[in-house]
Each structure stands twice: as structure tokens, then as C-alpha cells.
A = this chain, B = another copy of it.
Amino acid sequence: MSTTRVKLTIAYDGSGYDGWQWQPEARGVQQVVEDALVKLMPGGPYRLHSSSRTDAGVHALGMVAHADLPLAKARMTPHKLRIAINAYLPKDIRVLESTRVRPDFHARFHATGKQYRYTVWNHAAMNPLLQGRAWQVPVKLDVPAMKRAAKLFVGQQDFRSLATNRGQVLKDAVRTLTRCDVTRSGPQINFVIEGDGFLYKMCRSIVGTLVQVGKGRFSETDIRKIIAAESRGAAGMTAPAHGLVLWKVYYRGKRSGGASEWRNLES
């Protein structure tokens, strides 16, 4: 059967899901999207290959996945596919973009970088408008100290100390962070973390460690030591999942995978 490789950019509220990935006896976002594809197209099942996995509770604005679909047989264009699949998806999952790609495109292997964002609500009482979207930290944080410490994560280094190893020995833990920004807007603290790749729970570990800096528990020297230790347990806590959003995924040639492109806008 002749198929077309399609690249989907998917946004979801992770609150109601056990993460992205398919797991037995759990509800992953991947399976919900794959099930919607089966309802739309003859044949199937269809398999989505994603740029990333996200843990339970983590959100996405620009998750990227590819699939080989019988578009011609279903008389579908990628544009029509986006509209049709959204009609079959729950409101907490939306396909923001759908484009035809070359048959050798791979959402995971061809990704050149990713951007994650994390939100902290730094106030004694939670903001109801950020419920399920931000980590509430009720003690005052020293944001200038956090900004300085954040810069220490930027660059190419071994991030073993900032990963959870899932019981395996990590062979290669060298990654390059290109951005680790902390900004405050009132009680809201925004983190933007960008790099060529991320180890398991690395983003949440960086945020958790920076919050320890904000509380005065770690100094810049401590952060340098943590990174140099190259062992988990050296770092601070892991920030909760619900403050994290996979914001966009980059591919060679042009920035892609975010929701900032206009080609699918009906004008």
C-alpha cells in the first residue's frame, strides 16, 4: 500500500495522561492519537514515531511525530488530515500542524534540538489560573542568584548528575545546552531551556536544582561541583512534572515543530 510520510506537531495538556508513550494498562497521548488515525484511515494500526517522550503530567505545545499514512487512498491532504483528526481527538490534544515530509524524515533521529519551558508560581497562595501548569514554590526565591547559576548549565558538558538513570548505566551523557534562561514576571518565574538533547528528567532536575539555589541552599560553587561530580544524587530535587512543557523541536534547515508557523492558518 502506498503511503505518505506525514509530520505532525501535537499540543497536549498532559494532566489527564500517563505520559506520551504507549504503555500496557495506561493511557498515553500517543495511543489516543494513533487510535484517531485508525478511525480516519483505512487499514492501520498506524505507528507514531515521536521526537521525544514526555512523562506523566508533562505538557506539550510542539511535540513532533511522524507516521506513514495512506493519504492518497483516504483522499486526504495533510491539511485536511489535521482538521479531520482534531474532530476525533479530545480537546486536551490538538494537532497544530500536519505536513508531508520526505520518506526518510525521522522525528527523533533528525531532531537537532529541543526547547522546554517550565513555570514556577512563587507565592504563598497558588494562582488558580496556573493550576496544573506551574509548580507553586511558597518561599521567596533569589532570582538573580538563579539567573547566575543557570548560566553554568549552558555549554557542552556531561549532564549525568542531572539525570535519572532508570536503572541503566548511561554511556553517553554529554549534551549541549544552548539556553538556560530564568526570568521573573511578578510571582511567576519562567524557565526556557534549550539544547541538542536531554537525558531522562534532565530539565526537571535543572529546574529543581535552580530552585534550591533560589532558596539559598546551593551556591554557584555547589552547582559547579554538582556538574563535575558526574553522578546522580549530587544534584537537587526533581521539579514536578506539571510545570513542564515541551515547547518546540528543531530540525535542520529551518526551525520547525513549534506552533509559530502560519502555513496551516486559514486566511
Chain B, residue nearest A13 (CB): B128
Contact assessment for B140 and A265 in the assembled complex, using a CB-CB cutoff below 8 Å: yes
Kindly specify which of A20-28, A223-231, A232-240, A256-264 makes contact with the partner chain: A256-264
- Known contacts: A186-B259, A260-B186, A260-B187. The answer to whether A128 contacts B265 by CB under 8 A is no
> Please, which residue of chain B has its CB at the minimum distance from the CB of A92?
B128
Within 8 A of B (CB), among A183-203: 186-187
A11/B124 contact (C-beta < 8 A), A138-B266, A259-B187, A260-B187 known: no
Question: A59 on the interface (CB 8 Å rule)?
Answer: yes
Chain B proximity of A149: nearest CB distance (Å): 19
Q: Min CB distance, A83 to chain B, in Å?
A: 8
Contact of A94 among B59, B128, B262 (CB under 8 A): B128
Rounded to whole angstroms, the CA-CA distance of A157 and B262 in the bound complex is: 37
CB <8 Å contact, A91 and B133? no
Residues of B near A182 (CB, < 8 A) are none
A: number of interface residues (CB 8 Å): 38
Instruction: Check: A123 CB closer than 8 A to any chain B CB.
Output: yes
- B127/A11 in contact, CB under 8 A: yes
A1-31: CB near B (< 8 Å → 1, else 0) gives: 0000000000111000000000000000000
Type the 1/0 row for A130-146, where 1 means its CB is closer than 8 Å to any CB of B. 01010000111000000
Cβ contact within 8 Å between A95 and B267: no
Whether A125 is near chain B, meaning CB under 8 Å from some CB there, is yes
Contact B259 A94 (CB under 8 A): no
A96 within 8 A of B: yes
In contact, B265 and A139 (Cβ under 8 angstroms): yes
Bound Cα distance A100, B13 (Å): 39
> With an 8 A cutoff between CB atoms, is A245 at the interface?
yes
A129 part of interface (Cβ distance < 8 Å): yes
Let me know if A61 is at the binding interface, CB within 8 A: yes
A11 to B126, CA, bound (A): 9
Is A82 in contact with chain B by the CB < 8 A criterion?
Answer: yes
Tell me if A211 counts as interface (CB < 8 A to partner B): no
Taking A122-B265, A124-B266, A129-B245 as known contacts, 4 extra A-B pairs with beta carbons closer than 8 A to each other, sorted by chain A number, are: A13-B129, A86-B125, A123-B265, A138-B265
